Chain A
Amino acid sequence: MSLFEIIYTGSNAALGLAQQTVADAIKEKGKDHKVAFPGTAYSLPVIYAATGIKIATLGELEGALGVVKSLIVEEEDMGKALNAGLATAVSAEIIEGVRYALSEDPYKNETGIGFVPDSIIRSLGVPLVTGDIPGIAVIIGESSDKDSLGTIVKDYQSKGLLTFLVGNVIDQVVEAEVKVGLEFRVIPLGNQITSVIHVVSVAVRAALIFGALKPGDLSGLLNYTKERVPAFINTFGPLNEVVVSCGAGAIALGFPVIADTDVPEVPGALLSQKDHNETVRTSLEARNIKIKIKELPIPVSYASAFEGERIRKDT
């Protein structure tokens, strides 16, 4: 299967799941049942930012499925493949939206926090702009080795990055005795892949809040995230189609994906780095993140590790 075919397969699977989830919810609660994430003025932020439409009910959510469908055009074309990636993001938001519609707190039995409220995003604004938070790492999947995973997260931590966790990596990181929580800049989102939307939602709301972007200006949004939100994705373990298609969504937002398995590489966007000792360096370089060494209270060994890091030629 070509890379694009994998993406389309994943996008269609996510769409199918979203359709089913919405249909089941409507059967149970009716079309007028309320849909909302807690603590946000941006409705379902991804859908709102991309289309300008605020979703309030399950019925309207059903309408949003049309947006997803229209984004999946199965042609061997990079632009279309990236759109299909965005479609998966929207599907994920729809599924998560339903979870919140059906339950007061769908994450109460998980380590993950689920939806990130506006207040937290606002508190992140200043350190992001000043470079105090030099980057955002999104870690997805399940690592073959929890110790090296722990080391990676600690490394990001020590460099001041904000790390979001999705999937079994959450439990692995906890087992590796990494302190998690907003104050430690390590935020577990949820165990299911759809929880990844809650970090996308952070990036998207950053564009709306700090970039004063108009809802519905999709290309402006993608430009903002690419230029201004220094995020990247690390995936661990084998990738299924849905994860790959999520990855396409990340790439559409300008976030490079670094996998620890074999993937069809795209320079600067989709890389394979099997050596966990090199994950951090590879990722920072891929997102062009430079660490302001002096401002961080970290051991000297970290600083020296980064000296002479920029070895590429200027042409």
Chain B
Amino acid sequence: MSHEVLGFDVTADALLEKAKRDGAETMWDRKAAMKASCGFGEKGICCKNCSMGPCRISPVEGKGAQKGICGATADTIVARNFARTVAAGVSSHSDHARDIIHVLHMASEDGNYKVKNPEKLMKLAKEWEVDTEGKEIYQIAHEVAEVALMEFGKPFGTQRFIKRAPEPRQKIWKDLNIEPRAIDREVATILHSTHIGCTSEVDSLMDMSMRTSLSNGWGGSMMGTEFTDIVFGTPTARSTEANLGVIEENMVNILLHGHDPSFSEMVVLAAEDPELMKLAKDNGAEGINLVGMCCTGNEVTMRHGVKIAGNFYQQEMAIVTGAMEAVLVDVQCIYPALPKLAECYHTKFIATSPKAKMEGATYIEFNEEHALDITKKIVREAILNYKNRDRTKVMIPQQKSKAMLGYSVETIIDHLDKVVNSQTDVFETVKPLSDVIWAGVIRGAAGIVGCNNPKVQHDNSHITIMKELIKNDIIVVTTGCAAQAAAKAGLLTMEAKELAGRGLREVCERVGIPPILHMGSCVDISRILDLVSRVSKERGLDNSNLPVVGVAPEWMSEKAVGIGTYVVSSGIDTFLGITPQVTGSARFVDILTNQLEDKVGAKFFFEEDPTVCAQKIMERIEEKRDRLGI
């Protein structure tokens, strides 16, 4: 097997060689075994929504089957599949949010979960018109949480947070009838409408996809972020390190992988427990080394500076180092292959969520009632496993980079305040950001998000696009595995400003920020929506007027499709570095990459070559500037 595809990441080659020696199977082996992927699936023209099928439509127009047995055309099948993908993505994010809201609902003065950010809670209570008069903070917390929980299944009305969008945007949603109603309802409606013999009208399926996705961006994800900040604190700027080199030779290494901060935050607490720290020492280790991966890694690094072991594609490699005492997972983006892989080493693979029980894993159910006790028990297991490490099988790549992160909207605004002249302007706004964009000092902004995907060279698209954009004075904000790629590449440092163009460099120096701002996990893309909308409102414009884009260079998950769709529906052009499975319908492709612009003022761009993609992004940004006359 050739590892050429990994040439970009110096840690990968050696570890994959090692995996081979250790008899461990990785995604590259499985990718090779997969051979060429199925052309019908690739194009989205395979349907198995009923047992008359599976049906597949000939990719050649006018030749072979042009319709499914029920008569569904390629257009309908592609649009239905797309809608279901959106629904799945939306459910993942929203279910994640539901859990954290439950956590706030059970928070108490002396419980495991507290209200760490009462100001943010009070602000939200005010925004949602929850009466706070004479109530103590936990009562308010419970009431706000209850209101939030209703957002998932309320019988009437639309998502509360859509009011945060600029007014012209709200109007577009209203006119198109895509204002998101209850989250679960939108998901269920898609599943209903994509059932055999229901919706076949392609535009309607697209509208439903947009409405459902909006229930995530302006519903589930936004609540997820908001409530996580309330319970665990709003992230502030801090430094950390990233890449597999953060795994320590002489410590108990614990990998946190998944998404749910209510679990990972407790693990952070448990790992700081003096008794457990002592236990680690008694077992011959120098201490406990907690490292993160994927979005749960982002959550704990944003709030505690927990080191980042890596992003999505490195999840197997972290185990192949042979130095991982335990892998603790909750939900989402966790390879089912991991438990088996862990068996090649001493690594304990522990699944904790009833929503993601995994074949071959040790299952220790996490429940919020006994959060700290359970996580302590789990950490103890990891510590006791230290002695089982086979030192002959350990190989930790020595690569790691420093990174600055923690840039929540609040923290960004705090930094912007540094350049506010107290005589001419007010503090605590995004005006400085909007000013430098309008003056042309920076050309625009790009949110670079998403996963890794073995279809492209890992991290290469993320990094290529980021470097190209900052060089051309486009400020980048990032989340998810894209952010972790940036961290590993050293782009989240103050020094990285040297890679930026003159204008952006100047901004970085004056504001005291790196040219690329890590804004958190995938649900935290809601922070980006918030930031963009604030700039729109500052200028009395709509999001679609701004020279701002979203980019998912190496996306892979259904969540990413859900995200891309709500970003476009929010008026922000979105560039996809992996072509989605829709090319079997020229009409649907035209909707995504063309017609949507007439409807929502933004559209998708598909471009797999990262250099060309960066070029197209810059052209689009200049086009938007020209339209604004700036």
Interface residues of A (CB under 8 A from B): 1-4, 76-82, 264-273, 278, 281-282, 285-286, 311-313, 315
Do A3 and B439 touch (CB < 8 A)? yes
- A308, B324: Cα distance in complex, Å: 54
Do A312 and B422 touch (CB < 8 A)? yes
- A82, B505: Cα distance in complex, Å: 13
Contact partners of B472 in chain A: CB under 8 A: 77
- A282, B420: Cα distance in complex, Å: 10
The 8 closest A-B CB pairs, nearest first, are A79-B502, A78-B503, A267-B419, A282-B423, A267-B432, A315-B414, A264-B439, A266-B439
Q: Which residue of chain B has its CB nearest to the CB of A274?
A: B424
Do B443 and A312 touch (CB < 8 A)? no
Do A313 and B417 touch (CB < 8 A)? yes
B416 to chain A, nearest CB (A): 8
Do A278 and B427 touch (CB < 8 A)? no
**Residue from A79, A80, A81, A267 in contact with B436 in the complex, judged by beta carbons closer than 8 Å:** A267
A sample of 15 inter-chain contacts (CB < 8 A) reads A76-B625, A77-B501, A78-B440, A78-B442, A78-B503, A78-B506, A79-B502, A79-B503, A265-B424, A266-B441, A267-B416, A267-B432, A268-B421, A282-B421, A313-B417
Chain A CB within 8 A of B174 CB: no
Contact partners of A4 in chain B: CB under 8 A: 440
Q: Which residue of chain B has its CB nearest to the CB of A285?
A: B421
Contact partners of B622 in chain A: CB under 8 A: 76
**Residue from B237, B420, B423, B439 in contact with A278 in the complex, judged by beta carbons closer than 8 Å:** B423
Given contacts A78-B501, A79-B502, A312-B420, list 19 more A-B pairs with CB under 8 A: A2-B625, A3-B630, A76-B625, A78-B441, A78-B503, A78-B506, A264-B438, A264-B440, A265-B435, A266-B435, A267-B421, A268-B510, A269-B506, A271-B424, A272-B424, A273-B421, A273-B423, A315-B411, A315-B415
Q: Which residue of chain B has its CB nearest to the CB of A272?
A: B424
B449 to chain A, nearest CB (A): 25
- A251, B436: Cα distance in complex, Å: 14
Instruction: Render B612-630 as a binary contact track against A, CB cut-off 8 A, 1 for contact.
Output: 0000000000100100011
Whether A77 contacts B473 in the complex (CB less than 8 A), given A313-B417, A315-B418, comes out as: yes
- A247, B10: Cα distance in complex, Å: 47
- A78, B424: Cα distance in complex, Å: 23
Q: Which residues of chain B (423-439) have a CB below 8 Å from chain A?
A: 423-425, 427, 432, 435-436, 438-439
Q: Which residue of chain B has its CB nearest to the CB of A273?
A: B424
Whether A77 contacts B502 in the complex (CB less than 8 A), given A2-B630, A266-B441, A282-B421, comes out as: yes
B468 to chain A, nearest CB (A): 14
**Residue from A76, A271, A312 in contact with B418 in the complex, judged by beta carbons closer than 8 Å:** A312
A241 to chain B, nearest CB (A): 15
Do A2 and B440 touch (CB < 8 A)? yes
Whether A267 contacts B473 in the complex (CB less than 8 A), given A2-B629, A77-B502, A272-B424, comes out as: no
Q: Which residue of chain B has its CB nearest to the CB of A310?
A: B422
Q: Which residue of chain B has its CB nearest to the CB of A313?
A: B417
Contact partners of A81 in chain B: CB under 8 A: 440
- A264, B439: Cα distance in complex, Å: 6
- A266, B503: Cα distance in complex, Å: 11
How many inter-chain contacts with C-beta < 8 Å in the A-B complex? 92
Whether A76 contacts B440 in the complex (CB less than 8 A), given A2-B630, A267-B420, A282-B421, comes out as: yes
Do A313 and B421 touch (CB < 8 A)? no
A10 to chain B, nearest CB (A): 15
- A82, B423: Cα distance in complex, Å: 26
**Residue from B421, B427, B435, B512 in contact with A264 in the complex, judged by beta carbons closer than 8 Å:** B435
Whether A3 contacts B440 in the complex (CB less than 8 A), given A82-B502, A312-B418, comes out as: yes
B356 to chain A, nearest CB (A): 39
Do A282 and B435 touch (CB < 8 A)? no
Do B427 and A266 touch (CB < 8 A)? no
Interface centre among A4, A272, A315 (most CB of B within 10 A): A315
Contact partners of B506 in chain A: CB under 8 A: 78, 269
**Residue from A3, A79, A270, A285 in contact with B501 in the complex, judged by beta carbons closer than 8 Å:** A79
- A163, B237: Cα distance in complex, Å: 40
Contact partners of B415 in chain A: CB under 8 A: 315
Q: Which residue of chain A has its CB nearest to the CB of B442?
A: A78
Instruction: Render B193-205 as a binary contact track against A, CB cut-off 8 A, 1 for contact.
Output: 0000000000000
Whether A313 contacts B414 in the complex (CB less than 8 A), given A2-B630, A4-B440, A266-B435, comes out as: yes
B297 to chain A, nearest CB (A): 25
- A272, B442: Cα distance in complex, Å: 19
- A80, B440: Cα distance in complex, Å: 11
Do A285 and B435 touch (CB < 8 A)? no
Contact partners of A3 in chain B: CB under 8 A: 439-440, 630
Q: Which residue of chain B has its CB nearest to the CB of A311?
A: B422
Q: Which residue of chain A has its CB nearest to the CB of B419?
A: A267
A92 to chain B, nearest CB (A): 22
Instruction: Render B299-330 as a binary contact track against A, CB cut-off 8 A, 1 for contact.
Output: 00000000000000000000000000000000
Interface centre among B421, B439, B502, B503 (most CB of A within 10 A): B421
Q: Which residue of chain A has its CB nearest to the CB of B434?
A: A265
Do A315 and B417 touch (CB < 8 A)? yes
Do B423 and A78 touch (CB < 8 A)? no
- A266, B440: Cα distance in complex, Å: 9
Do B414 and A78 touch (CB < 8 A)? no
- A4, B629: Cα distance in complex, Å: 12
Contact partners of A77 in chain B: CB under 8 A: 472-473, 501-503
A71 to chain B, nearest CB (A): 14
Contact partners of B503 in chain A: CB under 8 A: 77-79
Q: Which residues of chain B (563-617) have a CB below 8 Å from chain A?
A: none
- A286, B419: Cα distance in complex, Å: 9
Contact partners of A271 in chain B: CB under 8 A: 421, 424
- A271, B421: Cα distance in complex, Å: 9
Q: Which residue of chain B has its CB nearest to the CB of A277?
A: B423
- A313, B418: Cα distance in complex, Å: 7
A84 to chain B, nearest CB (A): 12
**Residue from B411, B427, B441, B473 in contact with A312 in the complex, judged by beta carbons closer than 8 Å:** B427
Q: Which residue of chain B has its CB nearest to the CB of A280?
A: B423
Do B424 and A282 touch (CB < 8 A)? yes
Contact partners of A1 in chain B: CB under 8 A: 629
Q: Which residue of chain B has its CB nearest to the CB of A7?
A: B440
- A59, B509: Cα distance in complex, Å: 41
Do B440 and A286 touch (CB < 8 A)? no
Contact partners of B439 in chain A: CB under 8 A: 3, 264-266, 270
Contact partners of A269 in chain B: CB under 8 A: 441, 506
Q: Which residues of chain B (366-399) have a CB below 8 Å from chain A?
A: none
- A82, B74: Cα distance in complex, Å: 54
Contact partners of B501 in chain A: CB under 8 A: 77-79
Contact partners of A315 in chain B: CB under 8 A: 237, 411, 414-415, 417-418, 512
- A78, B472: Cα distance in complex, Å: 10
Contact partners of B441 in chain A: CB under 8 A: 78, 266, 269
Contact partners of B416 in chain A: CB under 8 A: 267
A151 to chain B, nearest CB (A): 16
Contact partners of B438 in chain A: CB under 8 A: 264-265
- A82, B473: Cα distance in complex, Å: 14
Contact partners of A268 in chain B: CB under 8 A: 419, 421, 510
B422 to chain A, nearest CB (A): 5
Whether A78 contacts B473 in the complex (CB less than 8 A), given A2-B625, A273-B424, comes out as: yes
- A269, B435: Cα distance in complex, Å: 11
